[in-house]
Amino acid sequence: MHPIRDLTGVLLLGLLLCGCALNGEHFRFCSEQCLPLETQASCGPTQLQFQEVCAVPCVEPSTGEALSPLDLDERMLSSDNVLHLSLQECIQRALSTSTVMRDLGGTVVRSPQSVNTSIDPALIFSDPRVGEEAALSAFDANFFVNNYFERNDRGLNNQFFGNNGQFRQDLNTTQT
């Protein structure tokens, strides 16, 4: 019917199918001029080189991190290096070195949120209102289901629609 429109459609379809194949230049992920000599042959690194990691401690020098039980040196567990404590002495030492117990005054009773402890970074991280967990929870999967039920009984002023002018319907709409 429309030969010009049909011809134009066939030409556009042909160009679309050819696409970028008409370009004779092959794509490479890197240029060989910018790479060192040992990686130019394969256009990518052939061997990983490990570097020394310099970790900066994130805790204050006064509060050293405790070693996990798997990191303990068994030679250090000799009888001259082990300190024998009773339960009362252990609790006394723990409470005497705790910053919360040292600053016990009325601050803890009046405003407990202002007292700093060693677990404050973990509490801030996992705070569901402002922490990192709150930022990540915005991307959690949500699943919602809504059901709407209607019963329609209407009298119509038209004999052709409904059952002698009565419109009756039970309607359920489900959205997921």
Choose between 11 and 77: higher pLDDT. 11
Q: What is the pLDDT of residue 25?
A: 61
Supply the DSSP symbol for 148: E
Choose between 41 and 18: higher pLDDT. 18
Q: What is the pLDDT of residue 172?
A: 92
Long-range own/partner contacts, residues 168-174 (CB < 8 A, 24 or more apart): 172/147, 172/148, 173/146, 173/147, 173/148, 174/145, 174/146, 174/147, 174/148
Per-residue pLDDT of 44-77, as tens digits, reads 555 555 555 555 555 455 555 555 656 667 777 7
* pLDDT surpassing 60 at residue 98: yes
Q: What is the pLDDT of residue 21?
A: 62
* pLDDT surpassing 60 at residue 38: no
Closest CA to 102 of 110, 94, 91: 94
Instruction: Provide, for the chain, the percentages of residues in helix, strand and coil under a 3-state DSSP scheme, each rounded to the nearest 5.
Output: 40, 10, 50
Q: What is the pLDDT of residue 17?
A: 73
Q: What is the pLDDT of residue 95?
A: 75
Report the alpha-carbon distance of residue 25 to residue 33 in Å, rounded.
17
Mean pLDDT (whole number) for 74-102:
77
Closest CA to 94 of 112, 71, 118: 118
Segments making up each domain of the chain, as ranges: 146-175
* pLDDT surpassing 90 at residue 12: no
Give the number of other CB atoms < 10 A from CB of residue 134.
13
Report the alpha-carbon distance of residue 8 to residue 1 in Å, rounded.
13
For residue 58, the number of C-alpha atoms closer than 13 Å in the C-beta half-sphere is 3
Report the alpha-carbon distance of residue 155 to residue 152 in Å, rounded.
10
Per-residue pLDDT of 107-166, as tens digits, reads 655 666 666 676 777 777 878 788 888 888 778 888 999 999 998 887 777 777 667 777
Contacts of 152 (CB under 8 A, 6+ apart): 167, 168, 169, 170, 171
What is the pTM for the complete model shown?
Answer: 0.23
